[in-house]
Structure 1
Amino acid sequence: MATSPPYPTRPPTQPRTRPHWWQRTWVRYGAPAVLLALAGAVILALVREQTGTQGFLVGLGLAVFPVPLLVAAFRWLDRVDPGPWRNLLFSFAWGACAAALIAIVANSFATRWIATATADPGGADTLGATVIAPVVEESAKAAAVLLVFLYRRRHFTGIIDGFVIAGVTATGFAFTENILYLGTAFGTDQLTGDRGFASVTAATFFVRVVMSPFAHPLFTVLTGVGFGAAALSPGHRRLRRVLLPLSGLLLAMGTHALWNGSASLGEYGFFAVYAAFMVPAFGLLTWLAVWTRQRELGAVRAELPVYAVAGWLTPAEPFALGSMRARRIARQYARRHAGKPAARTVAEYAAYATSLASLRHRGLRGRAGADYVVRERELLTELWRRREVARPALDHAARATAPPLPVAVPPWPAYGTYGAYGAYGGHAAHTAPAPYAA
């Protein structure tokens, strides 16, 4: 019985090339971290200058409330095929530091320029809030989605990835913006002689943190949906891959402008826009995210049986991996019998299997990249390395949750050739040995 994949991870004849200095790991990760840290230091200094030290601390303490809930919600959406944490950390840091710095500098400059040109400070503020701010802020947040889309393409494969990256970026941006607004409100209360959390601070907290913590994520998620749809488009449809993100960005700017402009629609304008537009839009996007998540699970159940036929998976695994309940049972079983490292291994196994199913799903539709074969081998190798720990747990979960009849596996001829990959046929080029040990 073989104990390793039927092919080497790196061909023996493949030369090892030394990467250029800009391709080295410490440069690729260190340079963005340093730049974001500098942007964070500058934006915090600017916010503290506008709010004062006491206002800054109060704003910071109040603004942090919605952050864990929003990040947890986006992470829940990403549980089927979770991306790496470093992408989320980059997105949040970009929103909180770089995008916020760009917005505060550009908005202030544009508003002052309009006020000087028109000699109408009130009109400049209204124009800045309804026209300038949506364009600047949504463009700055969209830059994070674009960077992840371009440089972390392997982890950006669909609409859910766009949802999560855009939502976390906007959460970071809203966090910094809330510090500014809440700190300024607190300073206003102090200037009027009120002590503690008086009317302006309480009203600002209620509107920004209680009623509309999802506002910025809602706007930017539209951009993320555009990028996610572009990721699903075939590679030869270049115009579509450009127009879809631009359309999402324009929708984000439009909804942001409508939201900001609601303050000028009269006493009840804000509540009218909130009830007639924001809540339905939030519900629609939530439904789209959950529906897309279920489609990802369906793709797992549909695409993995072929690897079970080839011997890479046991027949029960596609069913177990296509059910979040079965995955949870598998992790619990592994933790109970072998500790937390085993549970983490089962979670990694499920993530790699989901990525494999997603890759094959895109390949069948001509949407996978030129590195399909290499990526498939990498994912199969990662599954192989974790099989001894993950399989008993997944088999147990399958028995605990499976229907009475076994999961049907399509006949082998259905998986001969497809799309742009010709005679390769995916798995057939490197079939795993069978049977496996129980």
Structure 2
Amino acid sequence: MPVPHRDTYDAVPVPHRDTDEPAFPAAADRSQWRYRPRRAFWRSRVLRAVAVVVLLALCALVILALVREQTGTQGFLVGLGLAVLPVPLLMAAFRWLDRVEPGPWKNLLFAFAWGAFAAALVAILANSFAVRWIATATADPDSADNLGATVIAPVVEESAKAAAILLLFLFRRRHFGGLVDGVVFAGFTATGFAFTENILYLGNAFGEDQEVGSSGIGMVTAGTFFVRVVMSPFAHPLFTVLTGIGFGFAALAPRGKRLRKVLLPLAGLLLAMGLHAAWNGSATFGGPWAFYAVYGALMVPAFGLLTWLAVWSRQRELRTISGELPAYAAAGWLSPAEPLALSSMRARQMARSFAGRTYGPAAARTVGEYESFATTLAFLRDRARRGTAEPDFPAREQELLHHLWQRREVASPSLTYAARATGRVWAPPQYLDYSGYNPYRS
């Protein structure tokens, strides 16, 4: 029985493959892989990239100089060595979450650099100015410090970090498709911010230890390292992920829902500020026991809930692949087993391994590219069906189908094998004959 064509119940039609060749011109080399509409010079990607790199480089020079001035050279080096320890683990965790449709590294590096340099610079300058102004106005430096930590810092820091997510949402919209992207961008931004902040705190703690000559487990440096790196390396990512979730929901909103696209990120930002304020306030006003109470009653459950939401969003992405790609299989672009294999991370890995063992490393890369293009095609169609796709949807769809077509001879058998080997589709046992026929022996 033929598989029903998806455009019989979807509003987005699928190009039919009626011949043995695609109905669009073939691109000969990698320089022509991407559909590139013409842009005015001021919107040139090269111009934007240069401007961003220069801005972040200047911010890096200024913020690192300020931190070194506060901590001293020796404290700066100690803080740098200790603060870098959780960074690879956090980056690997967020990158793992983004495995279904990995975004370009340049977006993630921008987010990290913005958090580490631009957001940290804005935070240290704005917080210092606000605290000095409050202390001068009230003639009460202690109250100014407490107010700065619990009110000013959460507002300034979360707003500065949210700017990176906003820029990616506006200018990298093609790579910002939903909740997972919002969580990953927010996580990288906050990881960068926490990295620079930890250098400052750990460097200052080391300077205190040097002044009083303390050593061993009672050192201020050891206590600061335990609280900031061991107990709560996820604190800043947890706050900012709430903002990222708001932007993720906004990315899923249909075109024309402009109020929703504004209110959802704003709600996420306000939640991030509130959680950040509760965290800082517990340490500032409540003492150690209040800090541990907030940590156990608020931070740990929030971290667990957001972790569940992130994993659920990743599974939702796999369900999107299994729901959208059968339309292209029905039209003849994919084999029937490929959508099932592409919606399983285990089957995708097995397909690459099979191609590498059978045909060599180049074939494994080809299968990986095929999986990436097919995943992008599924998400593109999903956005088109929900009314959030870009105006160049037909051109991008044709482009992606072209890349799948050029890799099908290697990728299709590998994915079909992986679908059968992982039980995604049924295959007869090798030791049985069915009416005198066994495909493993023919």
The alpha carbon displacement at 1:249 in A equals 0.4
Amino acid at match of 2:323: A
Amino acid at match of 1:124: A
Determine the C-alpha separation between the residues in 2 that align with 1:281 and 1:160: 17
Determine the C-alpha separation between the residues in 1 that align with 2:84 and 2:146: 28
Q: 1:120 to 1:340 in 2, by over 3 A?
A: farther
2:74 is aligned to 54
Amino acid at match of 1:181: Y
Q: 1:241 to 1:18 in 2, by over 3 A?
A: closer
Is residue 7 from structure 1 mapped to residue 28 from structure 2 by the alignment?
no
Alignment of 1:163-182 (within 5 A): 163-182=183-202
The alignment partner of 1:368 has SS state of coil
Is residue 117 from structure 1 mapped to residue 147 from structure 2 by the alignment?
no
Instruction: Determine if contact 1:96/1:176 at 8 Å carries over to the other structure.
Output: yes
Q: Alignment partner for residue 38 of structure 1, among 53, 58, 67?
A: 58
Q: 1:23 to 1:104 in 2, by over 3 A?
A: same
Determine the C-alpha separation between the residues in 2 that align with 1:159 and 1:148: 14
TM-score (norm 2): 0.87
1:156 is aligned to 176
Determine the C-alpha separation between the residues in 1 that align with 2:39 and 2:259: 32
2:30 is aligned to none
The alpha carbon displacement at 1:109 in A equals 0.7
Determine the C-alpha separation between the residues in 1 that align with 2:104 and 2:369: 11
1:288 is aligned to 309
Does 20-29 or 81-90 show the bigger shift? 20-29
2:117 is aligned to 97
Does 172-181 or 379-388 show the bigger shift? 379-388
Determine the C-alpha separation between the residues in 2 that align with 1:5 and 1:196: 70
The alignment partner of 2:371 has SS state of helix
Q: 1:25 to 1:235 in 2, by over 3 A?
A: closer
| Residues matched between the structures, number | 401
Instruction: Determine if contact 2:340/2:424 at 8 Å carries over to the other structure.
Output: no
1:300 is aligned to 321
Does 197-206 or 17-26 show the bigger shift? 17-26
Q: 1:268 to 1:352 in 2, by over 3 A?
A: same
1:214 is aligned to 234
Is residue 193 from structure 1 mapped to residue 210 from structure 2 by the alignment?
no
The alpha carbon displacement at 1:359 in A equals 1.9
Determine the C-alpha separation between the residues in 2 that align with 1:404 and 1:292: 25
1:425 is aligned to none
Determine the C-alpha separation between the residues in 1 that align with 2:200 and 2:389: 44
The alignment partner of 1:359 has SS state of helix
The alpha carbon displacement at 1:376 in A equals 1.7
Instruction: Determine if contact 1:189/1:198 at 8 Å carries over to the other structure.
Output: no
Determine the C-alpha separation between the residues in 2 that align with 1:175 and 1:286: 21
Instruction: Determine if contact 1:186/1:197 at 8 Å carries over to the other structure.
Output: no
1:354 is aligned to 375
Q: Alignment partner for residue 311 of structure 1, among 329, 332, 343?
A: 332
Unaligned runs of 5+ in 2: 1-17, 28-35, 428-442
TM-score (norm 1): 0.88
Determine the C-alpha separation between the residues in 2 that align with 1:63 and 1:285: 24
Determine the C-alpha separation between the residues in 2 that align with 1:148 and 1:66: 24
Determine the C-alpha separation between the residues in 2 that align with 1:238 and 1:18: 26
Deviations 1:10-33 (A, max 9, x none): 9xxxxx997433233431212101
Determine the C-alpha separation between the residues in 1 that align with 2:404 and 2:24: 14
Q: What do you get for the CA RMSD once the two structures are aligned?
A: 1.9
Determine the C-alpha separation between the residues in 1 that align with 2:369 and 2:198: 36
1:21 is aligned to 41
Determine the C-alpha separation between the residues in 2 that align with 1:83 and 1:234: 22
Instruction: Determine if contact 2:341/2:424 at 8 Å carries over to the other structure.
Output: no
Instruction: Determine if contact 1:319/1:402 at 8 Å carries over to the other structure.
Output: no
2:105 is aligned to 85
The alpha carbon displacement at 1:222 in A equals 0.3
Q: 1:403 to 1:86 in 2, by over 3 A?
A: closer
Identity %, equivalent residues: 70
2:281 is aligned to 261
